[in-house]
Structure formats: C-alpha cells, structure tokens
Structure 1
Amino acid sequence: MTTSDGEQQPVMGDTPSGSALAVGLGVRPGTDAGRIVRAVRAVVGDATIGCLATLDRRAIEPGVLGAAAILDTPVKAFTAEQLADVGVRHRSDRASAAVGTPSVAEAAALLAGGELVRDRTIIDGIVIAASSVLPHS
C-alpha cells in the first residue's frame, strides 16, 4: 500500500506482536460509518484495532460512533490544540484552516498510541493513519 504522496507503507507484520492499532481518522462532517469502516480496513486490513482517534468535534459524529460500534472499539477524542502540539510528518494547510490543526489523523494516532506504523493515507476522502499500541494502553 502507498500513501497519498506515493510512499510505500510497511506491511502489517511490522507491528509488534500482541499489539493493536490506534487508528487516527480525519473525516468531514456527515461521513457515514460504512465509508469509514471500508477506509479503515483498506488501510489496516484485519489488524486488531485498539481505538479510533480523532478531533473532539468529529468523535461525536454519528458516522464515527457508528464505525466504532461496527469495529467494536472505543473512540478517543483530542482537541485541536492537543493535535496541533504533535510533531507530524504531513501537515495540511486545508485541515489547519478547517479545524484549527494541521494534522488530525497522524497526530491523533500518535497521541492515542505509540510509533506510527501507517503514514497518512487518504481513502475515499477519509484520512487514516495508525500507530501501534500495547494492549490495555
């Protein structure tokens, strides 16, 4: 799999044994749960998902909550200020103008987990990134 900028991604076997993924999401308001789940699975496959992580105002969206229910995982929410404080590889002027932080998916994945194992990837307009997390973290 490649990122939106053409970079090759590591295979899922690169995640530590026994770990789950914190999946960072960047979505527009009104994005439906089915679309989110399809995008997440396109990026992380059948990996165990420890949580979905996103901007606080997106965490209460019906589509995000529905996707979390389908994936049987909690949602972790972060403020724009928290996300903006995270050093990320990909920054977006568009996201910064729209929600007050230059990164949602990568920053949320990093805050919710550990090492980034999936760079920012855009699937059907949904931005996904993932970090490895140890169980129960």
Structure 2
Amino acid sequence: MNVSGALVIGIGASSGVTATAVTEALSALDGRFPGDPVAVRAVATIDRAAESGQLRAGLRKHSRHWSLAVEGELPVLCYSAEALAGTIVPNPSASVGQRVGTPSVAEAACLRAATELGEGPARMVLHKFVTAGVTLAAASSAGSPRALRPVVPGRVLRRLR
C-alpha cells in the first residue's frame, strides 16, 4: 500500500452522539471515495471528543472497513482546543469556536495531523461535512510519510482499542 496516499480523517461530534451515528457518518465519508477501501493513516480530533466511548465505539466498528496504512491499532491523535485554534482552515465556524474554543475541529485536526505525519504542509482532500451530528473532513500528507512522534505539544496519542 502507498502510505503517502493514506488519509488522515478529522472527526468532531456533538455531545451525546451515538456509536451508530458515528458509523453512519463514516460510511458517508467512505462513499465520497469510491473504489477500493479507504486507506487511513490516522484519525484526529479534539481531546474532549476522544474521551467519548460512543465515538470510539463507532470508530472501532467502522475502521474494519478501511485499509490501515499502519501496523497494529489505528492511531487517534487528540489535540487541545488551543492547538487546533492555531490551525488555518478553509471553513471555520464561529459557533463551534464559541462552544469548544476553536473555530474548527474536523478540518483543523486532520490538517494538523497530516502535516505532522508528512513532510511539509498537508492538503485538504475532503472539506468538512456534517451528518448525524458528526463532522468529518480528510487531509493527506505531503512528501514521504514520517514516523509518528510519541510526544507533540498540544497533542495526546491514543490507540483505538
């Protein structure tokens, strides 16, 4: 598999989102990439969303449909609101900014993570869209993929279990 072509999926969810809503939203994302299974390098989100058992359950269930670009468990990169707020995105939202402290979760998280995992700036592959209370976006890394650094300021690394 061409790891450099793998996507970083950015995800944001309203509080109270269900695992079913997450899997439905991820299926909608897959539908925007017809053909082979979607190749995924990592999932990225805001730190407080990563604590949602429903979000993690939906990701666990749906990730079986993806072609993982990494060995082992899918990495979930969790960023603080402050770290995400410093990322320039194509579609910021003032209402999201008021609620969570950053004008973007899905787009900012995937762009930040894809930049971290590649050489140079990332590019947005799929602008944010919302379905069933879940916001999704996708970015890809520029250049050759880099190893995932265990410690990055403003980020926590989790594995999808």
| Correspondent of 1:69 among 57, 60, 66 | 60
Judged with a 3 Å threshold, the aligned counterparts in structure 2 of structure 1 residues 136 and 37 are, in CA distance, closer, same or farther, namely farther
| Correspondent of 2:41 among 40, 50, 67 | 50
The two structures, once aligned, show a CA RMSD in angstroms of 1.8
One-letter amino acid matched to 1:112? A
Q: Which residue of 2 aligns with 1:110?
A: 111
| Correspondent of 1:24 among 1, 6, 10 | 10
Q: Choose 20-29 or 65-74, whichever is displaced more.
A: 65-74
One-letter amino acid matched to 2:87? V
Consecutive unaligned residues of structure 1, counting only runs of 5 or more, are 1-16
Q: Deviations over 1:44-95 (max 9, x none)?
A: 3331222221110011111221123221523110000010000011111110
Identity of aligned residues (%): 32
Query: Contact (CA 8 Å) 1:65, 1:75: kept in 2 or not?
Result: no
For 1:109, what is the secondary structure of its paired residue? helix
Where does structure 1 differ by over 6 angstroms across 4 or more consecutive aligned residues? none
Consecutive unaligned residues of structure 2, counting only runs of 5 or more, are 32-36, 65-73, 115-121, 149-161
Q: Choose 43-52 or 55-64, whichever is displaced more.
A: 43-52
Q: Which residue of 1 aligns with 2:134?
A: 126
TM superposition score normalised by structure 1: 0.79
Q: Which residue of 2 aligns with 1:84?
A: 85
Query: Contact (CA 8 Å) 2:22, 2:59: kept in 1 or not?
Result: no
Q: Distance in 2 between matches of 1:44 and 1:81?
A: 29
Deviation at 1:26? 1.3
Q: Distance in 2 between matches of 1:43 and 1:115?
A: 17
One-letter amino acid matched to 1:92? S
Deviation at 1:135? 7.9
Q: Which residue of 2 aligns with 1:4?
A: none
Deviation at 1:30? 2.2
User: Based on CA coordinates, which of the two structures has the bigger radius of gyration?
Assistant: 2
1:101 maps to 2:102: yes
One-letter amino acid matched to 1:82? A
TM superposition score normalised by structure 2: 0.68
Count of equivalent residues:
121
For 2:44, what is the secondary structure of its paired residue? strand
